[in-house]
């Protein structure tokens, strides 16, 4: 039976608009994404800011680390022209701004990239937000950080991000995957968010369910792959093209989430 997977706008509608900007998130929601996904770093003045890379070189043309700049300095940068001159007014948003954008019927997946020091500022931002706990999903690659987030935000879904092991020996792959799922469950986390690789198959998705865990993945821009993942029971799929992906899945008869 086909499963209605959430369509998650990866860094917003990042195929069409500059990633991790308000314009990209607004477009992703307008295109019908069930959720948006963003990346969060910590600024020099202790603010949570939405940007993927540790520096602003790629998206704003300045060779400087996010952690060495204040929020005001970051928001003075042009974060859109790298995509197209039409986006020259796009800026780097604070996490609080992005949370304020979210309608009551959508969700946001927040990837923390600053480690444990981000937890205390995150508490302040979430406490000041009008969003319900069910609208937010927190995630990180660092196990220490995801454990700390679950301890501090017990009502919010917390996922362990994982790129999956690149192992050639089958029994080692199986053992490594079992260890990921066992650790996730034992630490009281809600699920995993896994890289889109051939290892992410029906058996692994089924194993997540058997462990009582949610299973999400990034990044999928191939509608055939997305349809197969949905059929196998994936909970959510992050894509750079949420509107286009929705149309393609509708054409295949995949159920709407």
Q: Which residues are catalytic?
A: 10, 52
Note if the bond before 219 is cis, omega within 30 degrees.
yes
CA distance 88 to 65: 21
Token code pair at residue 138: 């927190």
Question: What's the rounded Cα separation, in Å, for the pair 240 and 219?
Answer: 7
Taking the CB of residue 183, how many other CB atoms lie within 10 A of it? 15
Environment class of residue 172 by beta-carbon count within 10 Å: exposed (0-12), middle (13-18) or buried (19+)? exposed
Cα(131)–Cα(102) distance, integer angstroms? 8
């Amino acid at each position: 039976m086909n499963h209605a997977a959430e369509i998650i706008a990866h860094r917003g509608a990042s195929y069409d608009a500059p990633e991790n900007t308000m314009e990209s998130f607004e477009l992703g929601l307008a295109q019908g994404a069930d959720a948006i996904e963003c990346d969060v770093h910590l600024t020099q003045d202790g603010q949570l800011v939405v940007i993927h890379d540790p520096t602003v070189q790629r998206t704003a043309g300045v060779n400087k680390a996010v952690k060495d700049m204040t929020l005001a300095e970051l928001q003075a940068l042009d974060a859109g022209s790298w995509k197209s001159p039409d986006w020259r007014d796009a800026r780097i948003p604070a996490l609080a701004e992005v949370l304020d954008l979210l309608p009551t019927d959508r969700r946001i997946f927040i990837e923390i990239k600053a480690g444990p020091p981000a937890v205390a500022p995150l508490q302040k931002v979430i406490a000041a937000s009008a969003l319900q706990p069910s609208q937010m999903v927190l995630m990180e690659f660092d196990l220490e950080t995801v454990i700390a987030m679950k301890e501090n935000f017990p009502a919010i879904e917390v996922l362990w991000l994982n790129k999956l092991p690149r192992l050639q020996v089958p029994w080692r792959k199986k053992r490594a995957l079992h260890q990921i799922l066992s650790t996730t469950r034992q630490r009281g986390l809600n699920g995993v968010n896994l890289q889109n690789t051939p290892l992410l198959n029906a058996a692994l998705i089924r194993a997540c369910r058997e462990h009582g865990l949610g299973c999400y993945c990034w990044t999928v821009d191939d509608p055939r792959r997305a349809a197969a993942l949905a059929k196998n029971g994936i909970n959510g799929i992050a894509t750079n093209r949420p509107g286009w992906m929705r149309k393609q899945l509708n054409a295949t008869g995949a159920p709407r989430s």
